[in-house]
Amino acid sequence: MIDNLFEIANEIVKQADIVEVASHYIKVEKCGRNYQALCPFHDDKKLGNFYLNKDKGIFKCFSCGKSGNAITFVQSIEHIPFKEAVLKTAELIGYNDERLNNFVSTKPSISEHDQKLFNCLEEICQFYENSLFFSKDEAAVDALNYLHNRGLDDETIKHFRIGYCQRNGENIVEFLRSKGYSITIISETRIVNINKTPFRDSNAGRISFPIADKDGCVVGFSCRKFREDDTSNAKYINTSATSLFNKGNILYNYNNAINEARKVGYVYLLEGFMDVIACYRVGIKSAIALMGTALTRDNLQHLRFMKSQIRLCLDLDNPGQLNALNISNLFDEANIDYKIVNNDVDFSEKDTDEILKAYGDEKLRSYLGDLKNKGEWLLVYLSKHLNLKTLDGKKKMVNSFIPYLASLANLLDYEYYLNSLSRVSGFDASIIEKAVNKYKGKLDKKDEVAYTNLTTSNSTSKKDNPFTKLKLAEKQIVSYMLENKDAVDKYEIKLGYFVDSNYKEIANLIEEFINRINSANEYNVKNLIVFLDSDECKFLNKDLIRDEIANLALEYNKFPPYSEAHFTDIVNTINEEKENNLAIDTYKLNIKSNKSELEQAKYAKTLLSKRKFLIDENDKKRRN
């Protein structure tokens, strides 16, 4: 069992993107060759402490010292044991492995109370569904006609489990009580107000749209008024928050769309559930909707889990487009693959439901199929929202677009958007390019300075320490060993041990790790940390060692690239420094003992000449 877990964990960290995993919990932004964020493990007030490295798959906080790989991150932020962290990370990255089932038993099951609540909500949903087609309430016929007139056929109505809440609101309460539900449980579904008697359905007289959680269990309702004579205020009444229903972690139609999304490779993210239903009516089943306007971290996690391209299609009015801009920025930060449905349209309808009603299936399908990259979309967005007849508007246009230009890695994309921006804004491309470079320069400088200050602070403060040179040389060797298995072999032949106790431990850890893995391509820092974190590894100072490993891995680029010759040079420096330090040590030891001053002086002299001899010898060796 344990063996399996270690192997699965290795596989998971290999596939996991540390930046993606962390983005499930915190806001991460690019910073030079690394990524940074506010540290979630201490009360972090400003950026510049917490770094993530995508290539190495590790994170590290230079303030509180917390560090590790994707699994360590999940383990620390969720406060769960290693085994659960492996499961959770697998879930986050959508990693499927049958062997994982062996470990699932520890997952929390639903409480008896929540199960009762789930059952009660399901009964309510069925009652509403039946009421639409079969109740004696005359208005039910109107409700059905209303839905038909809006273009929903019976199949669609049944697919989305749309229902009708009888005008006599006491009926459903009676029905639920006859099924054995207490008024407490009924009130917890939020369909009745427990402070008002007689108890009755607060949705009475409305059309109901059930909302399900990610597993397809009904957790709440959105109920729409439809009758001309209905004088109640709200167009929709939504279930208020319950222990099962939290708008922030629900995406409408998620449970139906996920399999379809994985099949077709994309999913439409829309603003409301009528938009999702409109998509379904034109044959697009891979569609979901936000339950409020803002996208939450939970939503982001669920979107990622769909493993599909997200096609953002929010309302074409101002709030909808502004929200699309915000969400696209979140997607950029979280490295999510997405497109945006064209915003350069020749009609005034604002959402898919209205477009379908006004123009029919074909038009909606072609609208949804017209997808843009962020850049194309942003150019249109800015052109529409800024007054480009003024200099101010043109300047704002350029300044708002520059961060996007600066983020483009592909030269052709860059060239294309640079020219487009020049055309739209009227500024010469060479001027815009200068502005982009200035923007990039500022970013790089800021990040590099922050990062360098952090990583070098340790070594500069210890300048006067005679062990610095030795430690620095050892550090370089460990650093190479962490990156390169060849360096480990060389270390064993040429050096064999470190003076620094932490490096000594790391070398031991590496040795154990190499014995444990099956092939050399499993040899990398993030997998080494999996081994360190696993129960198999019995090291005592795990946090300290993990911290040191993350440090070394992040600083790796500061050293010259690994080569055998360079490695040998450092080994020589180490041996030389070992001798020097040995001399100093012995000298100090002698001072402590009560030898006479004369004896001490004599001894020191011998030592110094011995030191000089060793240095000369080493120089000779190096010259040969």
Piece of 38-46, 127-135, 202-210, 582-590 that binds Zn ion (CB under 5 A): 38-46
Selection from 381, 358, 412 nearest residue 151 by Cα: 358
Piece of 40-48, 236-244, 255-263, 333-341 that binds Zn ion (CB under 5 A): 40-48
Give 201 or 555: the residue with its C-beta nearer to Zn ion: 555
Give 42 or 302: the residue with its C-beta nearer to Zn ion: 42
Give 25 or 414: the residue with its C-beta nearer to Zn ion: 25
* 268: three-class secondary structure by DSSP: strand
Give 39 or 330: the residue with its C-beta nearer to Zn ion: 39
Give 42 or 167: the residue with its C-beta nearer to Zn ion: 42
Q: How far is the CB of 348 from Zn ion (least distance, A)?
A: 51
Confirm or reject binding of residue 39 to Zn ion (CB under 5 A): yes
* 250: three-class secondary structure by DSSP: coil
Selection from 500, 484, 480, 469 nearest residue 567 by Cα: 480
**Which letter does DSSP use for residue 216 in this model?**
S
Give 547 or 577: the residue with its C-beta nearer to Zn ion: 547
Cis ω for the linkage preceding 403 (within 30 of 0): no
Piece of 35-43, 236-244, 254-262, 413-421 that binds Zn ion (CB under 5 A): 35-43
Report the residue from 8, 9, 16, 61 that binds Zn ion according to the rule CB under 5 A: 61
Piece of 13-21, 41-49, 171-179, 589-597 that binds Zn ion (CB under 5 A): 41-49
Piece of 32-40, 339-347, 374-382, 541-549 that binds Zn ion (CB under 5 A): 32-40
Q: What is the largest CA-CA distance in the chain?
A: 116
Confirm or reject binding of residue 64 to Zn ion (CB under 5 A): yes
Residues 6+ apart with CB under 8 A from 73: 18, 21, 22, 25, 59
Report the residue from 63, 119, 202, 373 that binds Zn ion according to the rule CB under 5 A: 63
Q: Residue 131's Cα: distance from chain center in Å?
A: 43
Q: How far is the CB of 47 from Zn ion (least distance, A)?
A: 12
Report the residue from 33, 42, 116, 395 that binds Zn ion according to the rule CB under 5 A: 42
Show the tokens assigned to 83. Answer: 């085994």
Give 354 or 555: the residue with its C-beta nearer to Zn ion: 555
Place of tokens 């014995």: 515
Is the Cβ–Cβ distance between 251 and 302 less than 8 Å? yes
Q: What stretches of 334-428 show up as alpha helix (H) in DSSP? A: 352-359, 361-369, 374-385, 391-407, 411-425
First to last CA, the chain: 55
Give 61 or 87: the residue with its C-beta nearer to Zn ion: 61
Distance separating alpha carbons of residues 523 and 483, to the nearest angstrom: 8
Give 39 or 478: the residue with its C-beta nearer to Zn ion: 39
Selection from 282, 287, 285, 288 nearest residue 365 by Cα: 282
Selection from 404, 560, 330, 452 nearest residue 34 by Cα: 452
Q: How far is the CB of 44 from Zn ion (least distance, A)?
A: 6
Q: How far is the CB of 43 from Zn ion (least distance, A)?
A: 9
Q: How far is the CB of 457 from Zn ion (least distance, A)?
A: 15
Give 75 or 296: the residue with its C-beta nearer to Zn ion: 75
Q: How far is the CB of 40 from Zn ion (least distance, A)?
A: 8
Piece of 34-42, 162-170, 431-439, 562-570 that binds Zn ion (CB under 5 A): 34-42
Report the residue from 14, 26, 41, 414 that binds Zn ion according to the rule CB under 5 A: 41
Piece of 60-68, 88-96, 351-359, 509-517 that binds Zn ion (CB under 5 A): 60-68
Other C-beta atoms lying within 10 Å of the C-beta of residue 520? 10
Residues 6+ apart with CB under 8 A from 536: 2, 6, 516
Residue 93 carries which side chain, given as an amino acid letter?
I
Piece of 62-70, 506-514, 540-548, 587-595 that binds Zn ion (CB under 5 A): 62-70
Q: How far is the CB of 60 from Zn ion (least distance, A)?
A: 9
Q: How far is the CB of 38 from Zn ion (least distance, A)?
A: 9
SS (H, E, C) 125-168: HHHHHHHHHHCCCCHHHHHHHHHHHCCCCHHHHHHCCCEECCCC
Other C-beta atoms lying within 10 Å of the C-beta of residue 115? 12
Q: How far is the CB of 21 from Zn ion (least distance, A)?
A: 17
Selection from 568, 27, 586 nearest residue 296 by Cα: 27
Piece of 55-63, 160-168, 208-216, 251-259 that binds Zn ion (CB under 5 A): 55-63
Piece of 23-31, 37-45, 70-78, 184-192 that binds Zn ion (CB under 5 A): 37-45
Confirm or reject binding of residue 15 to Zn ion (CB under 5 A): no
Rounded to a whole number of angstroms, the CA Rg of the chain reads: 32
Give 50 or 127: the residue with its C-beta nearer to Zn ion: 50
Piece of 54-62, 245-253, 517-525, 594-602 that binds Zn ion (CB under 5 A): 54-62
Is the Cβ–Cβ distance between 172 and 166 less than 8 Å? yes
Is the Cβ–Cβ distance between 69 and 469 less than 8 Å? no
Q: Residue 605's Cα: distance from chain center in Å?
A: 62
Give 63 or 249: the residue with its C-beta nearer to Zn ion: 63
Give 39 or 120: the residue with its C-beta nearer to Zn ion: 39
Give 12 or 39: the residue with its C-beta nearer to Zn ion: 39
Give the total of residues touching Zn ion (CB under 5 A): 6
Q: How far is the CB of 41 from Zn ion (least distance, A)?
A: 5
Q: How far is the CB of 335 from Zn ion (least distance, A)?
A: 23
Confirm or reject binding of residue 25 to Zn ion (CB under 5 A): no
Q: How far is the CB of 450 from Zn ion (least distance, A)?
A: 15
Interaction mask 246-265, Zn ion, x per CB under 5 A: --------------------
Confirm or reject binding of residue 37 to Zn ion (CB under 5 A): no
SS (H, E, C) 59-104: EEECCCCCEEEHHHHHHHHHCCCHHHHHHHHHHHHCCCCHHHHHHH
Distance separating alpha carbons of residues 226 and 229, to the nearest angstrom: 9
Selection from 312, 265, 264 nearest residue 290 by Cα: 312
Please, which of residues 128-167 interact with Zn ion by CB under 5 A?
Answer: none
Is the Cβ–Cβ distance between 28 and 34 less than 8 Å? no
Give 61 or 274: the residue with its C-beta nearer to Zn ion: 61
The residue ranges that bind Zn ion (CB under 5 A) are 39, 41-42, 61, 63-64
